[in-house]
Every structure is written in structure tokens, then in C-alpha cells.
Amino acid sequence: MKTSITVSAPGKLMLLGEHAVVYGRPCIVTAVNQRMKAIVELIGEPTFQLEAPDVNITGYQKPMSELGKGDIPKGAKFVEIAVKNFLASQSTSEVKKIHLGGVKITTTSEFSSQFGFGSSSASTVCTIKALSEITGASLDNKAIFDLSYKTVLDIQGKGSGFDVAAAIFGGTLYYVIPGKIIESLKTDSLPLIVGYSGIKTDTAILINQVLEKAKKYPEVIENIYDSIGKLVEQAKKAVLSKNWQTLGKLMNFNEGYLSTLGVEGKKLADMIYAARDAGAYGAKLSGAGIRDCMIALAPKNKTQAVKDGITSAGGQVIDIKANVEGVGIEYG
Ligand code: PMV
């Protein structure tokens, strides 16, 4: 049995379909080349150790028998519960060795956990993939998805799992909860420009705000979800045929619906309009909304102008490549 393994998983950006995806409509997500890395080592003493300096966790340890118990610091939750869920799901002798022998996990990220690139989901996926490989359990991607998504739900209680799917499968995905459809869309790297507006608003809070609206105006909001679902179907075709102009238009439609749901946010809106004014095919927020990231799709000759527009609206441009590979072993 190996004693150490390193895996990495990509971050993600929602292209279209946020919020509606929580209520069964499809979304499209792309994996980005800002990766989370986890080194998993078998240490020969029955403790769980975690180093995650990017989220302020250093020297964290507890007995394996205490996994998931007590007050777990925010930065340690996803990795710790991922280990607990993986061990609970397996019963091979190799896995039992981890119960007895303990494990040390070190995570590092190429991106700030403040960007909504899905650092929690990516570290969950890295942990489960690494444990699956080091114990010889060799789970397939769907099994890794199910365990990772369960872990995220155990902690957050809410979420569609689109970020988990992106971290595992990579590429650009058409996704329906709870992993009912995870379809890889064969396409090129999309000409995406990303602008960051400021620290993310908690996703669960925004999901709840939209839910409150849906309780008050059920028919109106259900219709919006349906319309978002329909535009995602058209966007899927546009992604497959690499028709960025049409995809941009559909992104603009999607933004209108997100504005109606109340999650647009003034600064994001300014950045989105600036990107469109500078010649983008389309622009919208990406993720739960209010703050965090917006995305724009732009022709090559307008890229710089769109970036300048986003910057002059107060945003920070983040350079990324979209449609990159999913979780994988780096060495070990
Ligand atoms: O802001 P993020 O990256 O957590 O994205 C949230 C997207 C939602 O559709 C609002 C929630 C979800 O889990 O799909």
C-alpha cells in the first residue's frame, strides 16, 4: 500500500442556470484552471491531522475516533467530514488500516478561498479521490460524486452539487441535481473573462432569500425557473456548436431573470454593463450573486476593452482558462 498521494481538482464557474438548478432545472458549469491540491499521507498513528494554511488551519489534529465530533473549525469541516464519510462507506482491510493508522492531509489552493471558485467542494473531492486511490478502493467518478455531494450536504444542508461535479468530471458540464444528469459537453475553451466584485455573500443565505420570494409568488418564480431551464437547453446547443454570440445573448437573458430573483447586486451589475458596453457578446453574474464573480464572453479583439471596462467599474479581472480537466492524481 502506498503511503502518500497527491491529487488536484479544478475550481468552477457557473455559466448559466444558478438558483433554478436547485429546483431541478439544468445548469451549465465549466471547470477552471485554478486548482486545489491535497497531499494525503498515512502516518502510522491513529490521529487525523490537517494543514490547510489557505483557510487558516495549521497544526489541527484529533484522534481518528473523534472524527466529525466536537466543534470543527470552518476551514477544517469539509476535509474532516469527507474522511469520516469515506471511511464509513468502505469496509476493506486497507480502509481499516486508516482507522488504526491515521492520516495527514495538506491542502493548498491556487486561488483565494474568497473567490467563489468552489474551494470547499474541490477540497472535499480531492480528499475522497486521494483516499479512494491510496486505499485501493478505486471508486469510479459517480461514486466519488455521491460521497462528495453527501459531504457537502452534511455540512451546508443546501446546494445542487454542480461544483462537486465540475471538480470531479472537469470540462464543461450540463448538470441536473442530484447528479441525475452529468453530461460532458464537447467544446473548446470558452473565451471567458472573469471579474471579481468582492467577498462572496453566503450561498445558503441567498438560496433562502430566493426561496422566500418563491413562497410569496410561487407561480411567478416557478415560471422564471422554467424560463431559465429553457435558455439553458438552448445554451447547451450553443456550447456544443461553439456559437459564442448566441451563448452571450442567452447569458444576458439569464442575467435578467437573476435580477428578477433579486440576486444581481449593484456592483456586479455595473461590471456586467461595462463588459457589454465594451463589446462583450454577453455578461452575467456567476454563482449565488450579489457579490463575488461575473463572467463575460467576448470576441478576441474586444478582450482588452472588456477587461478595462470591468476594471473601471471597480472589478478585479481574474485570468482563468475554462474547460480544464477534472480531479486527477499528480503523483503518489
Ligand atoms: O456562489 P456559488 O458558487 O456557491 O454558487 C451557487 C449556485 C446556486 O445555484 C445558487 C446554488 C447551487 O448549489 O447550485
Q: What is the pTM of this model?
A: 0.96
Average pLDDT value for the chain: 95
Residues contacting residue 120 through CB under 8 Å, at least 6 positions apart: 77, 78, 113, 152, 155
21 lines ligand 1 (CB under 6 A): yes
| Nearest CA owner, ligand 1 atom 11 | 159
Mean pLDDT, residues 3-21: 97
CA of 14 to the centre of ligand 1 (A): 8
| E strand or H helix that includes residue 12 | strand 4-16
| Nearest CA owner, ligand 1 atom 2 | 287
Q: How many CB atoms lie within 10 A of CB 118?
A: 30
State the catalytic residues. 163
Query: Best mutation site among 13, 29, 152, 207 for ligand 1, i.e. most ligand atoms within 8 A of its Cβ?
Result: 207
CA of 20 to the centre of ligand 1 (A): 10
Can you tell me the distance from the alpha carbon of 106 to that of 252, in angstroms, rounded to the nearest whole number?
A: 40
pLDDT confidence of 95, banded at 50, 70, 90? confident
270 lines ligand 1 (CB under 6 A): no
CATH of 192-318, one of 3.40.109.10, 3.30.360.10, 3.30.56.10, 3.30.70.890: 3.30.70.890
Query: Best mutation site among 30, 156, 162 for ligand 1, i.e. most ligand atoms within 8 A of its Cβ?
Result: 162
15 lines ligand 1 (CB under 6 A): no
Per-residue pLDDT tens for 230-249? 999 999 999 999 999 999 99
In the chain, domain spans: 4-187+323-329, 192-318
Can you tell me the distance from the alpha carbon of 228 to that of 24, in angstroms, rounded to the nearest whole number?
A: 11
CA of 287 to the centre of ligand 1 (A): 5
295 lines ligand 1 (CB under 6 A): no
Query: Best mutation site among 13, 160, 203 for ligand 1, i.e. most ligand atoms within 8 A of its Cβ?
Result: 203
Per-residue pLDDT tens for 61-75? 999 999 999 999 999
CA of 47 to the centre of ligand 1 (A): 34
Per-residue pLDDT tens for 303-313? 999 999 999 99
Quick one: which atom of ligand 1 is closest to the CA of 118?
3
More confident residue, 3 or 80: 80
Residue 91 pLDDT > 90: no
Residue 214 pLDDT > 70: yes
CA angle, 269 then 119 then 251, to 5° = 30
Quick one: which atom of ligand 1 is closest to the CA of 289?
1
203 lines ligand 1 (CB under 6 A): yes
Residue 186, helix vs strand vs coil = coil
The fold of the 4-187+323-329 domain, in CATH, is Ribosomal Protein S5; domain 2 (3.30.230)
Residue 215, helix vs strand vs coil = helix
239 touches 187 (CB < 8 A): yes
| Nearest CA owner, ligand 1 atom 14 | 160
Amino acid 332: pLDDT: 64
CA of 196 to the centre of ligand 1 (A): 16
Burial zone of 119 (CB within 10 Å; 0-12 exposed, 13-18 middle, 19+ buried): buried
